């Protein structure tokens, strides 16, 4: 069966003054219908670039350098602007980190929700949509302007808009990162519940391996613009097969409250000026050998995980990648 979303060797570059940034360096990823996939990686690993590429929402200075991206078998970069708008309207939903910024400041919530619903041919039951995202007093919210709402309320409105037409895929780019810690969990729970009800697949982009692992069926770990490990969430969390995933898992304080920021992995993120000649993590990896700097790793299967590491098989047979506190 055709996957709902498929990225095949996807490379995206940004042209910035005086330099080029290779933000995606050959991403392979699929999302099946109804699947919930977490994309985890530190700042700059390419999560948002991947999320925006899926809606063809990349900034003007971005360029698709090679590879393909399909939704339901349709090759996104071959579609006309009109066809692309149809795919976005009918199949995709987006929720971003900044809820106020994703709403129109000049229009009352009800008016913009109605516009969004009409554009998508959905029922115009604005209060019903606001009730679905558990906003108390939906009539009052419908009359409010975005700046009159708390961050949590505004994000619920944005979620109502994104989910109004029950999209096939919801791309959620750190949707709770800007919210108060007390409401984060509620908002995440609500998004997953609405998506499950509607049969919507989720691609959830986040820094937080443990939080994503608790909610998603699958986790893909990004580093330096590539997916370095991809597998069932429970396996990736308990038995990471890539040294970077291992470092991420062990940098999470065991006592961390849900949603708390991870301690960073020691070392500096890679400089992404072009395709990496070897493994982008080699400079920070305690297991790197000469080959890791000179030859790009190809995916290796370790149990249910797909891993981009020259030493994956060897490390899997040792205790080197054990996670603290997991037996
Ligand atoms: P974060 O966790 O901070 O949101 P991310 O994983 O979402 O990070 P991206 O925003 O996709 O990462 O960025 C990937 C790389 O591309 C980074 O090096 C970033 O600086 C660069 N980049 C992103 N957007 C642009 C842009 N419009 N112009 C130039 N470079 C960009
Ligand atoms: Mg981002």
Q: Are residues 81 and 166 in the same domain?
A: yes
**Ligand 1 atom 20 nearest Cα:** 44
Give Cα 122 to chain centroid, integer Å.
Answer: 26
Q: Give yes or no for residue 259 having a pLDDT over 90.
A: no
> What is the H or E stretch that residue 6 is in?
strand 5-16
325 band by pLDDT with thresholds 50, 70 and 90: low
- pLDDT tens column, 58-91: 999 999 999 999 999 999 999 999 999 999 989 9
Q: Give yes or no for residue 327 having a pLDDT over 50.
A: no
Ligand nearest to the CA of 221: 1
Domain range holding 81? 5-221
3-state secondary structure of 228: strand
CA 318 to centroid of ligand 1, rounded, Å = 35
Q: Is residue 74 part of a domain?
A: yes
Q: Is residue 236 part of a domain?
A: no
Q: Are residues 313 and 214 in the same domain?
A: no
Q: Are residues 183 and 263 in the same domain?
A: no
Ligand nearest to the CA of 42: 1
Q: Are residues 211 and 248 in the same domain?
A: no
Ligand nearest to the CA of 18: 1
Q: Are residues 126 and 209 in the same domain?
A: yes
**Ligand 1 atom 25 nearest Cα:** 14
CA 297 to centroid of ligand 1, rounded, Å = 23
Q: Are residues 247 and 314 in the same domain?
A: yes
3-state secondary structure of 152: helix
Task: Judge if ipTM > 0.90.
Answer: yes
What domain count does the chain have?
2
- pLDDT tens column, 182-192: 899 999 999 99
Q: Is residue 237 part of a domain?
A: no
Q: Are residues 207 and 301 in the same domain?
A: no
The ligand 1 atom nearest the CA atom of 205? 7
What is the 8-class DSSP label of residue 257?
A: P
CA 280 to centroid of ligand 1, rounded, Å = 16
- pLDDT tens column, 27-60: 999 999 999 999 999 999 999 999 999 999 999 9
Q: Are residues 212 and 251 in the same domain?
A: no
Q: Is the dihedral of CA 167, 181, 205, 274 positive or negative?
A: positive
Q: Give yes or no for residue 260 having a pLDDT over 60.
A: no
Domain CATH number, residue 141: 3.40.50.300
Q: Is residue 274 part of a domain?
A: yes
- Whether 28 contacts 84, CB under 8 Å: no
Q: Are residues 266 and 214 in the same domain?
A: no
Does 255 sit in the ligand 1 pocket, CB within 6 Å?
no
Q: pLDDT averaged over the chain? A: 92
Q: Is residue 121 part of a domain?
A: yes
pTM of the model: 0.94
């Amino acid at each position: 069966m055709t996957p709902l979303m498929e990225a095949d060797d996807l490379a995206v570059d940004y042209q910035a003054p005086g330099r080029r940034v290779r933000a995606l360096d050959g991403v392979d990823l699929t999302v099946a219908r109804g699947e919930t996939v977490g994309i985890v990686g530190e700042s700059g690993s390419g999560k948002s670039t991947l999320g925006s590429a899926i809606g063809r929402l990349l900034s003007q200075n971005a360029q698709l350098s090679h590879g393909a991206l399909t939704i339901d078998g349709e090759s996104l970069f071959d579609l006309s602007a009109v066809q692309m708008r149809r795919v976005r309207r009918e199949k995709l939903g987006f929720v971003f980190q900044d809820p106020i910024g994703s709403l129109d400041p000049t229009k009352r919530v009800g008016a913009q929700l109605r516009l969004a619903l009409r554009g998508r041919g959905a029922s115009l039951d604005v209060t019903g949509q606001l009730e679905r995202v558990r906003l108390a007093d939906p009539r009052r919210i419908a009359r409010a302007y975005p700046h009159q709402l708390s961050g949590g309320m505004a994000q619920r409105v944005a979620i109502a808009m994104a989910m109004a037409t029950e999209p096939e895929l919801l791309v959620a780019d750190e949707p709770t990162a800007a919210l108060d810690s007390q409401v984060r969990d509620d908002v995440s729970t609500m998004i997953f519940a609405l998506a499950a009800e509607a049969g919507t697949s989720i691609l959830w982009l986040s820094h937080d391996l443990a939080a994503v692992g608790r909610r998603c069926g699958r986790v893909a770990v990004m580093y330096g613009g590539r997916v370095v490990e991809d597998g069932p969430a429970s396996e990736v969390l308990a038995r990471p097969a890539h040294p970077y995933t291992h470092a991420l898992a062990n940098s999470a304080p065991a006592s961390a409250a849900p949603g708390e920021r991870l301690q960073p992995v020691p070392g500096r993120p890679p400089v992404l000026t072009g395709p990496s000649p070897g493994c982008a993590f080699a400079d920070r990896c305690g297991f790197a050998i000469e080959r890791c700097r000179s030859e790009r790793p190809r995916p290796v299967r370790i149990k249910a995980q797909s891993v981009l590491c020259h030493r994956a098989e060897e490390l899997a047979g040792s205790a080197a990648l054990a996670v603290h506190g997991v037996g």
